[in-house]
Amino acid sequence: MATVEAGLDLGHAGAPRPLARPILRKLASDLTARIGLVLVVLFLVMVAAGPSLAPHDPRQVTVERLATPSLDHPLGTDGLGRDVFSRLLHGARLTLGTALLAAALVTAIGLVVGTLAGYAGGVVDALLMRVVDMVLAIPGLVLALAVAGLFEPSLVAVMLGLVTIWWAGYARVVRGLVLSLRSRPFVEAAHAVGASRWRILARHVLPSAVSPVVVLATLDVGQLILVISGLTFLGLGAPPPTPEWGAMLNDGRVYFLSDPQVVLIPGLAISLAVLGFNLLGDGIRDALDPRLARLVVRPRALGRRWPRRRAR
């Protein structure tokens, strides 16, 4: 990945400078990114406080089935008379929480595997990268579905399916980062003063690889939400009556022709969440140092992640 190596050259002899401040400054001047930020903050509030804001018990079945919106039920009720608004508020924590947790997991796995491959080199590197190639050779959603299907339907099963396919792209990026960091002057200096391999790895290489990968994961949350809600929509996620967004859509299917709102409302919630994270992610990418931005191209969950480098 020559683009990675070239892309990471921040033009400093020392450790890479912090990314956060210039990014925030540029983000503030970008309208679409600000819209994304507002949406993301809104959804994060739902994740944090949703259940305590809900007016009803999301699992409480009542006789008021498929009710139209009213003061008591701001978004109406579903086919079993449950309050849709309360289910949405509770579901945010499950759907978005799963996505955020998955993002953290793939970041961690990618960091460990990528660092190991990039720093150990040789046979370890070759083996790990071939495993990465193999995972990326299978269409993502197909493999995630088959792996999640090995378990009883649950959000943990969905997460396992997702992590199985998603770590590989991260490992490849981290490996590229570590390779380029290894020959940087501040790492060589640490080596020269007699720091051990592990110390160099833990104190110098890993911290510098973390921030670009965290940025990458931020750009990816929208895609993760899409795949998670897709799998739960197919019935692989938490069983009823769990108020998860994809599952709500699935529950609503039978009522769709007469009462389309029971499908359209959770669908809209998922779409807005994905849109928010995508807008914010695009803004962050635009705001990045252009040389770094070339590195943090958004990986694609459902296809080959990285356009191959053209030999020059």
Partner 1 sequence: MKRYVASRVAWLLVALFGVSVITFGLGVLAPGDPAEIVVERRLNQPPPRDLVDAERRNLGLDRSLPVQYLNWLSNAARGDLGRSWLKSIEVSDALRQRIPRTAVLAFTAAAFSIVIGVPVGVLAATRRNALADHVCRIGALLGASLPSYFLAYVLIFVFAVRLNAVPAFGFGSPAHLVLPAVTLALGPAAVLTRLTRSAVLDVLDEDYVRTAKAKGVRQRTVLYRHVLRNAAIPLLTVSGLSLGHLLGGSLIVEWVFAWPGMGDLAIGAIHDRDYPLIQGFVLFSALVYVVVNFAIDLAYGWLDARTRGAG
Total of residues contacting partner 1 (CB under 8 A)? 50
Distance separating alpha carbons of residues 73 and 51, to the nearest angstrom: 15
Distance separating alpha carbons of residues 126 and 188, to the nearest angstrom: 24
Least CB distance to partner 1 at residue 69 (A): 18
> According to CB under 8 A, which residues from 226 to 265 bind partner 1?
226, 229-230, 233-236, 249, 256-257, 260, 263-264
Q: Which of these, 294, 305, 100, lies nearest to 212 by C-alpha position?
A: 294
Least CB distance to partner 1 at residue 256 (A): 6
- Residues in contact with partner 1, shown as a per-residue x/- string from 193 to 232 under the rule CB under 8 A: -----------------------------x---x--xx--
| Token pair recorded at residue 172 | 């490849």
- 21 touches partner 1 (CB under 8 A): no
CA 199 to chain centroid: 30
| Token pair recorded at residue 246 | 């994809």
Distance separating alpha carbons of residues 133 and 129, to the nearest angstrom: 6
- 312 touches partner 1 (CB under 8 A): yes
- Residues in contact with partner 1, shown as a per-residue x/- string from 123 to 162 under the rule CB under 8 A: -------xx-xxx-xxxxxxx-xxx-xxx-----------
> According to CB under 8 A, which residues from 272 to 291 bind partner 1?
274-275, 278-279, 282
Q: Which is nearer to partner 1, 16 or 176 (CB)?
A: 176
- 308 touches partner 1 (CB under 8 A): yes
CA 216 to chain centroid: 9
CA atoms within 13 A on the CB side of 235: 4
- 270 touches partner 1 (CB under 8 A): yes
Q: Which is nearer to partner 1, 61 or 109 (CB)?
A: 109
Q: Which is nearer to partner 1, 21 or 310 (CB)?
A: 310
Least CB distance to partner 1 at residue 201 (A): 28
Q: Which is nearer to partner 1, 145 or 171 (CB)?
A: 145
Q: Which of these, 207, 229, 233, 217, lies nearest to 298 by C-alpha position?
A: 217
User: What does the binding site for partner 1 look like in residue numbers (CB under 8 A)?
Assistant: 130-131, 133-135, 137-143, 145-147, 149-151, 222, 226, 229-230, 233-236, 249, 256-257, 260, 263-264, 267-268, 270-271, 274-275, 278-279, 282, 300, 302-304, 307-308, 310-312
